[in-house]
Amino acid sequence: MQTNFSSAALAEPHLAESEKILRTCVHCGFCTATCPTYLLLGDELDSPRGRIYMIKDMLEGGKPATKEVVKHVDRCLSCLSCMTTCPSGVHYMHLVDHARAHIELTYKRDFTDRLLRALLANILPYPRRFRLALAGALLAKPLRFIIAALPFVGARMGAMIDLAPARFPSLPLTEAAPAVASPRRGRVAILEGCAQPALKPSINAAARRVLARHGVDVIRPKGEGCCGALVHHMGREAEAFAFARRNVDAWCAEIAGGLDAILITASGCGTTIKDYGFMLRDDPAYAEKAARVSALAKDITEYAAGLDALPRARETGQTIAYHSACSMQHGQKLGDQPKRLLRAAGFVVKEVPEGHICCGSAGVYNILQPEIAGRLRERKAANIAKTKPQAIATGNIGCITQIGLATATPIVHTIELLDWAQGGPLPEGLAGAGFPA
């Protein structure tokens, strides 16, 4: 794609990077075929190519974002399906991240939108506040239909209430876990993060047990927290970078003592942490440290794939529909490892039709765009049902929550199934689904 940025504009590193990305697009339109919003809405402006043109026009002209641009960029899920399809290697993720930051700086959203976004940005990344908000959402569940009917904010408040679990989750286990097998094979950190330990602490607990059985020590670095993805996807770049710097400091303090990997059990967070090196590339104090952290970041299944198989302690063979989160398959290009691990543990793994299409979770997308997210969720649940599974496995808490709203089939994290197969406790929801305790 031809671009016409002024040389003054290109002196700004963000613009120079985006110009490089724009120039790789050859307008072929292959990406439109796999874009969930184009699939649902059929509007070129809701396709990757249409968004790329709009972003080019906005950035090239140094223009503030318009209502029209904001509408179509907001509808983008950041699912990155377009990046997997693009034959030209267009780095859409970095381009849309830049566009979102530009929108945040140059566009004044209406009051309810600003209020909702500020609430999400000031609650979700903070575990204590998030747990309090969950308690509030639980209490509000009986009033859900009244709240959802409120003007302006009703649909999005209703979506928030729906996403809260039906009962309050137990407190997460966060202490360090020593290896129980010898010889000792490694020393790793597991990201605790923000929302996941509040919603489903059993995921990291299962990961700790699996690692301990393989002789891997798990440490808990002081000071780590939210990876910054939630605010980054809302264009709040400064906040996202602050979260990234805090985590880089926490992990670098442990790297000195020997750290083999930084493990992540939510693929959405993994995609962001693997991008810290890029996000902080222009920060002289952090560029090198952030790149080191990104190089150590691994999804739990990516790391587990490198460990020796352990003897099975359970009778497996159950049919599992594996839902590959967008951040797993498109963001981190980890399409096969989780399925291979499940098969090696004895499960029958089914491919979900339209597996490349997002379930509509996408961070806080299902709260901010409940209508599109709801349609994608129903479509995903219907596709999963075609495989007639006994359970669904995935690697991202957002997908677990989102898909769980549209299916009666139990949905768990891949590592919970692997832990159970090795003798761990039965994951919640699997009793009665053909999984012996």
Residues within the interface to ligand SF4 (CB under 6 A): 25-31, 35-37, 48-49, 51-52, 76-82, 85-86, 88, 90, 92
Q: Give Cα 318 to chain centroid, integer Å.
A: 27
Closest distance between ligand SF4 and the C-beta of residue 230, in Å?
16
Cα(134)–Cα(384) distance, integer angstroms: 28
Comparing CB distances to ligand SF4, the nearer of 28 and 382 is 28
Closest distance between ligand SF4 and the C-beta of residue 358, in Å?
6
Closest distance between ligand SF4 and the C-beta of residue 428, in Å?
31
Closest distance between ligand SF4 and the C-beta of residue 27, in Å?
5
Structure letter (DSSP) for residue 412: E
Cα(44)–Cα(23) distance, integer angstroms: 20
What is the DSSP track for 199-243? Answer: H-THHHHHHHHHHHHTTEEEE--TT----SHHHHTTT-HHHHHHH
Cα(102)–Cα(62) distance, integer angstroms: 10
Comparing CB distances to ligand SF4, the nearer of 27 and 108 is 27
Comparing CB distances to ligand SF4, the nearer of 81 and 318 is 81
* Contacting residues for 319 by C-beta, under 8 A, at least 6 apart: 347, 348, 350, 387, 388, 389, 390, 391
Closest distance between ligand SF4 and the C-beta of residue 360, in Å?
10
Q: Is residue 338 within 8 Å of 207, Cβ to Cβ?
A: no
Comparing CB distances to ligand SF4, the nearer of 90 and 349 is 90
Comparing CB distances to ligand SF4, the nearer of 82 and 320 is 82
Structure letter (DSSP) for residue 170: P
Comparing CB distances to ligand SF4, the nearer of 236 and 330 is 330
Closest distance between ligand SF4 and the C-beta of residue 250, in Å?
30
The tokens 């794609």 sit on which residue? 1
